[in-house]
Structure 1
Amino acid sequence: MDAKPCTTSLTVKTSHVLPPDTNTHGTLFGGKLMAHIDDVAAIAAVRHARKPVVTASTDSVDFLAPVREGDSVCVEAFVTWTHTTSMEVFVKAVTENLLTGERKVCTTAFLTFVAVDDDGRPTTVPPVYPVTDQEKKLHEAAPARAEQRKARRKHSYELAETFGTDFPWDREF
């Protein structure tokens, strides 16, 4: 498989924040923004792999500034690093006050996607290479983030084993 530049996967989506999208504070529901993030990141991953993908993990989603009713939110994503069947996608969301033009980065996140074949099994993806200084910075730090994800996933499995599927009131104390 031929390597592709990060920009091949660049995906951008801008949405107007309307009243049904907001909470009692007049700001965008965090879950709504997370849905935008997953949607745009998945499109970026499919553009890179040209195969179906599934979300494997979402690293911390950091909400840096509120997105207010009437603002727009622009979500940008691209593949920063690949492994054999997985892709790391960087996402940045920018909120804009449409009346004043003031813009702020409101969220950043990293998501991992796995490409799957027709049977839903992981399948190989092409390598990615950075071109810009920002892409190079993200690409170089990606192996360390992958190790952190691996450790976090191991811990999640341990928690799942510890707590199981029963509700606390179903257990004998």
Structure 2
Amino acid sequence: MEGKPARLSRTVMTDLVLPQDTNHYGTIFGGRVMAYVDKIAAITAMRHARKPVVTVSSDSFDFLAPVKLGEAISLEAFVTYTHNTSIEVFVKIQSENLMTGEVTTTGSSYLTFVAVDENGEKNPVPPVIPETDEERMHFDTAPERRRLRIERKQERTRRMLPPET
């Protein structure tokens, strides 16, 4: 299967933070941000695969700064790595004070998706071709993230199994 440049999957989404999006501190609900992240990452993965995808995992999500009422929230995502049927997507979240133009990076996350067919079976995806320094950095560090994800899943699965009697 022929590879695709990461730039072809790059997706940007911007929204205005309104009162219904915020908690009693006047900052956006973390769950709302996580929903935006999952949505943009899924769009990005589908752009790359040109197939339906399902979310498999989200790496640790760190909120670095709040996004405040009246600010714009902007998310940018691109495919960083693929492996057979899986697609890793990096998402960067920023806020913008629309009155001053100040932009703050408020969080980031890696999500993994699996491409599926009409029966929900795993489906192969094309390799990703990094072109920029940023894309190469994410690509080069992806195998280690994948290894850690697999270990984390195995450990969680082991803990969920009933004890042997």
Amino acid of the residue matched to residue 139 of structure 1?
Answer: F
- Per-residue CA shift, 1:2-44, capped at 9, x if unaligned? 1001111011110100001001110000000000000000000
Alignment partner, residue 13 of structure 2: 13
Given the alignment of the two structures, is residue 34 of structure 1 paired with residue 40 of structure 2, yes or no?
A: no
Compute the displacement of 1:162 (Å).
4.6
Number of residue pairs matched by the alignment: 163
- Once the two structures are superposed, the pairs formed by residues 94-173 of structure 1 within 5 Å of their partners are 94-162=94-162
Aligned position for 1:168: none
> Structure 1 pair 162/67, CA: closer, same or farther in 2 (3 Å)?
farther
Partner SS for 2:131: coil
SS of equivalent residue, structure 2 residue 68: coil
Q: Which residue of 1 aligns with 2:54?
A: 54
Letter in 1 for 2:160: A
Deviation digits for residues 114-152 of structure 1 (CA, Å, limit 9, x no counterpart) = 000110010000000100011101000000000000011
In 2, distance between residues paired with 1:101 and 1:162?
A: 54
| Aligned counterparts of 2:73 and 2:158: Cα–Cα separation in 1 | 37
Q: TM-score, normalised by structure 1?
A: 0.92
Does 1:78 pair with 2:75? no
Larger Rg over CA atoms? 1
Which secondary structure does the structure 1 equivalent of 2:161 belong to?
Answer: helix
Unaligned runs of at least 5 residues, structure 1: 164-173
Q: Secondary structure of 1:14's match?
A: strand
Greater than 6 Å deviation, 4+ residue runs: none
Measured in 1, the distance between the counterparts of 2:56 and 2:2 equals 24
Q: Structure 2-normalised TM-score?
A: 0.97
Provide structure 2 residue ranges, at least 5 long, that are not aligned to the other structure. none
Q: State percent identity of aligned pairs.
A: 52
Write out per-residue CA displacement over residues 80-121 of structure 1, whole angstroms, 9 at most, x where no aligned residue: 000000000000011001111100110110000000011001
CA distance in 1, matches of 2:160, 2:54: 21
Question: What are the equivalent positions in structure 2 for 1:63-74 lying under 5 Å apart?
Answer: 63-74=63-74
